[in-house]
Structure 1
Amino acid sequence: MIQNRTFWGKYLTNTQLDLSIASYTKVPLTWGEDSYIPEFNKLYFIMEGEGFVRVNDKTYYPKPGELYLLPSGTVQAYGTISGNTFGKYWCHFTSKLNDSQLFDLIKTPVFLKTHNQEQLKSKFEQLIFYSEKEDISSGFRVHAILLDFIAEFIEKSGTVNLNTRTVPSYDKMDDIVQYIEENLDAPLCVDDLASIANFHPNYFISVFKKYTGLSPIQFINRQRMERAKHLLITTDYSVSTIAESLGFDLSYFSRMFRVHIGFSPTNYRDMVSMSALSKYGE
C-alpha cells in the first residue's frame, strides 16, 4: 500500500492517456461478447435500456444514470437480455504510467451512480466533439475530460486502493520516497538510497528518474522546499530555524527557495498570511 500519498497522487497525474473512440450507441440485439481481455479501458454511461456486463467473476446489470469503468486487463463479457437494449455513451482509452497500466495501481469501483445526468451527458458530448476535431487544442480537451472522469471515480469511491506491490520497481520507489520524507533533515546521498533499493547507484538514478521525472537530488531538494513551505505556513519558526532543520545554511536555503517557489521565504510567508486574512475577512 502506498505510504506517501501526496507524492503518488501527483505522480499518477502523469499518466499517458490515449482515446481511441468515443460515441453514442443504441446497441443492437446482437451486441455481446464473452470472456475476453481488452487492452483498453472502457467507459459506459447508460442512458436507457437494459443488459449486462461482467468484470472478472462478477456480473452487473447497469441502470440508466450509472457510469461504468471497465479496466483493461480484466476478463470481461457483455450482452443484451431483452429487446430493450442499452442506449449509452461510451469510449475506449488507454492509460499508461511508464510500463504499467494506471488501473493496475488504482483500484476503483466498477460503477458510480450519478446525480447530475445532464452534466455527465454534456461531458460525453464534448468528448465526442473534441475527439473528432484535428486541431492541437482538442487533444488537451480530450485529456482533460478523461482525467475528470478518472477523478470522479477516485473522489466518489471513498478509500481507493493504491497498490504498488504489483510492480516491484514502484514498490521500491515507494520505500525510497518514504525514507526521504522521514529523513529530510539528514544528509541524503545517492549511494545510501541505492543501497536501500538494492540497486547499483547508476541504475538507481535511472530508475528513480523514470518513476519520478527527477534525479534523486532534484527530488530531495523539491521535497525539502515543500516541507519548508509547510513550516512557513503552519509555524512561527524563524526562517533560519527552518533552514537549519532541513540541513541548509540560511543564504543557500533562501536562494534555493526563491528558485523553486518564486519568492523569498519571508515574502512567501507574508503573502500566504495576507491571503488567509483576506479570505476570512479578518
Structure 2
Amino acid sequence: MEQGQLQIMRSYLDNVQMTLDTVHYTKVGTNWRYRFENPEENRFYFIREGSGWIRLRGRLHHPKPGELLLLPAGAKLELGLCSEEERFGKYWCHFGAKVGDVHLFQMLDLPFSIRVGDEDWLERQFRALEALYRSPSLTAPLRIKSVLLELVSYYMEEALRQQDSQSIALAPSAAEGKITAVLHYIDTHLSEGITVEELARQMHFHPNYFMPYFKTMMGLSPIAYITRKRMDKAKVLLRDTEVPVTEVAEAVGLELAYFSRLFKKQTALSPTQYRRNARGPRTEASSVSVPD
C-alpha cells in the first residue's frame, strides 16, 4: 500500500463516526428474501449455520458458517435462501459509519467477506454488542461505539492479512477522488503556508463552496484539519527524532512562537515538555508533567 494512500485512509478513520441501529441473532424464516437498491445502513453478518446466497453489486456469493460479511450502505443488495431446510442462523447488526456526511465504506474499497479465525471471540463481541444495545446504562452508548470500532478494525486487519483477499484501497469514485487529492496535497505541503484558496483550486471549486464540501466529507473545517495534521506531525518529530523545536515548527509551516502556543493549547504541554514526557522513564513520578 502506498504511503500516501495509507495516510489518507488513516485520516478517514480518524474522523469516522459510528452509530448502531440494531443488533440480533436470528435464524431466518423460510421466506427470507430481500432486495435493497440503496440501503442507508451498513450490515455485518456473522454466519453461524445454514446456507443461502447474497448478491452484492451484481456479484453472487454463498457464505459459509464462520464467515463475516460486510455489506456496505449504498450498495445494491439481494439475498435469499438456498433451501428451507438449511436456513441461515447469523449474528447481524445494522450500523452507521460516516466521515462527515459520507459513508466510510463508499470511500474505502474492501472485500465483502472474510474468514473468521477466532469464532468464539467474535461471537462474544456480538453478544456484548446486543447486551449493550438493550442496556439502560449511562455509558452503554460509549461502549457500543467501542465494540463497533473493534469489529470494523478486526474486519480490516483480517482483510489485509488473508492472502486471497483483495487489498484495502481507496474507492475510485470521482467524488472521493477529489477529496483524496486534497488530503494528499495537505499531507505533502504541511511545511508551507497552506490556504483554503489553494486547496479549492486543487478541486477547481470556489472557496465558498469548497469549505462546506470539505467539512461535509471530513467532519472538520479545512483549517481545523490542517491544524490537526500539523500537530500530529509535530508529535511524531518530537517523540521520534532529535530535531530541534525550532526545526519542528518549520517542518509544520509555523513560526516558533505561534507553534509553541498552538501546541500547548492542543496538548496542555509545551513542545519541550511533550518530548521529555514521551521519552522519559515510565515511572509514576516521572510520567506526570505540570504545564508551565
- TM superposition score normalised by structure 2: 0.81
Q: Which residue number corresponds to residue 271 of structure 1?
A: 277
Q: State the shift of 1:29 in Å.
A: 3.2
Unaligned runs of 5+ in 2: 161-166, 285-292
Q: Is contact 1:106-1:162 (8 Å) kept?
A: yes
Q: Which residue number corresponds to residue 58 of structure 1?
A: 59
Q: State the shift of 1:154 in Å.
A: 1.0
- For 1:81-120, list aligned pairs within 5 A: 81=83, 83-120=85-122
What CA RMSD, in Å, does the superposition of the two structures yield over aligned residues? 2.9
Q: Is contact 2:30-2:87 (8 Å) kept?
A: yes
Q: Which residue number corresponds to residue 209 of structure 1?
A: 215
Residue 44 of structure 1 aligns with an amino acid whose one-letter code is Y
1:192 equivalent to 2:198? Answer yes
Q: Is contact 1:17-1:93 (8 Å) kept?
A: yes
Q: State the shift of 1:156 in Å.
A: 0.9
Distance in structure 2 (CA, Å) of the matches to 1:213 and 1:42:
23
Moved more, 145-154 or 11-20: 11-20
Q: Is contact 1:3-1:174 (8 Å) kept?
A: no
Distance in structure 2 (CA, Å) of the matches to 1:261 and 1:54:
48
Q: Deviations over 1:198-253 (max 9, x none)?
A: 22222223323333343333333332222222222333222223323444333332
Q: State the shift of 1:82 in Å.
A: 5.3
Q: Is contact 2:56-2:76 (8 Å) kept?
A: yes
Distance in structure 2 (CA, Å) of the matches to 1:132 and 1:205:
39
Residue 169 of structure 2 aligns with an amino acid whose one-letter code is N
Distance in structure 2 (CA, Å) of the matches to 1:214 and 1:190:
13
Q: State the shift of 1:146 in Å.
A: 2.2
Q: Say which of 175, 178, 187 aligns to 1:181.
A: 187
Q: Which residue number corresponds to residue 164 of structure 2?
A: none
Q: Say which of 222, 225, 229 aligns to 2:231.
A: 225
Q: State the shift of 1:16 in Å.
A: 4.1
Distance in structure 2 (CA, Å) of the matches to 1:13 and 1:19:
18
Q: Is contact 2:8-2:180 (8 Å) kept?
A: no
Q: State the shift of 1:160 in Å.
A: 0.7
- Identity value in percent: 33
Q: State the shift of 1:180 in Å.
A: 2.2
Q: Which residue number corresponds to residue 168 of structure 2?
A: 160
Q: Closer, same or farther in 2 for the Cα pair 1:77/1:258, shift >3 Å? A: same
Q: Closer, same or farther in 2 for the Cα pair 1:64/1:177, shift >3 Å? A: closer
Q: State the shift of 1:167 in Å.
A: 4.8
Q: Say which of 124, 131, 137 aligns to 1:122.
A: 124
Distance in structure 1 (CA, Å) of the matches to 2:240 and 2:281:
14
Q: Is contact 2:54-2:77 (8 Å) kept?
A: no
Aligned residues: 275
Q: Which residue number corresponds to residue 69 of structure 2?
A: 68
Unaligned runs of 5+ in 1: none
Q: Aligned with 2:280: secondary structure?
A: helix
Residue 220 of structure 1 aligns with an amino acid whose one-letter code is I
Q: State the shift of 1:119 in Å.
A: 1.5
Residue 153 of structure 2 aligns with an amino acid whose one-letter code is A
